[in-house]
Amino acid sequence: MVNLSMASKKYVKDYDIVETEDSKGRIRKSAVYRGNYFHVDLEENQLKQFKVQIVVLFFLSLAMHVVAGALDNIEVLRIMYVAIPYAATFIPMLFLAEAIFGLPNEKRPFRNEEIGRSFRQVINMSRLTIIFELIGLLGGLIYQIFVAKGQNLATEALYFGLILVAAGLNWLVFSRTKAISIREEIPEQPPEEASNEEADSINSE
């Protein structure tokens, strides 16, 4: 059984609510998982190695992003269409960190919610992080070409390089996670339900 507060609204369809009576006669509600289970096609040691690799890639990317923003005399960070995507990137990175640390260390069947909050969230948030980084890079290039006209390009190039490396590291996080095979285990339909459905289809004809 799972505590009701642990069952996210997004995954509530995977749970049935059951009532039980404790020794004191009080009624307690619990969520019982009824959804499908998922199997990650990695052995336990491979799961641990994968998590370590993704954690290292994430922190390297985060370091590049922070250092780029801390550089002195970077004009592009004073431009709204560069500064806003730069700052906005930290939002998906926060959720990306949450998902990465939620990656499993053991091999077992996983609930839909567990896969969604780890592997799927890593894929989605790393993709969104890359998008924000590329938007910021595009804005910086537009500023350099049409406004600054190439002035201070040598100084700005360091910023562009760090953000580009950060985007590349996030691409590795995305692509390596996306490449992992996750199989869905669909439970067999009970014979009673199957026969009832067949009877309903015959009656409807």
Query: For residue 192, is pLDDT > 80?
Result: no
Say what the pTM is: 0.83
**Domains contained in the chain, CATH given:** 1-35 (no CATH), 39-185 (1.20.120)
pLDDT digits (tens, 9 = 90+) for 110-164: 999 999 999 999 999 999 999 999 999 999 988 888 887 877 777 788 999 999 9
DSSP assignment of 129-190 equals: HHHHHHHHHHHHHHIIIIISTTTTHHHHHHHHHHHHHHHHHHHHHHHHHHTS-EEEEPPPPP
Q: State how far the Cα of 95 lies from the Cα of 93, in Å rounded to an integer.
A: 5
Residue 205: the pLDDT is 43
Q: Read off the pLDDT of residues 60-107 as tens digits, 9 standing for 90 and up.
A: 999 999 999 998 877 888 889 899 999 999 999 999 999 999 999 999
**Segment 28-45 mean pLDDT:** 92
Which has the higher per-residue pLDDT, 17 or 119? 119
Which residues, 6 or more positions from 14, have their beta carbon under 8 angstroms from its beta carbon? 7, 33, 34, 35, 36, 111, 112, 113
Task: Find the mean pLDDT for residues 21-44.
Answer: 89
Q: What is the pLDDT of residue 181?
A: 96
| 3-state class (DSSP) for residue 104 | coil
Q: What are phi and psi of 181, to 5 degrees?
A: -85, 125
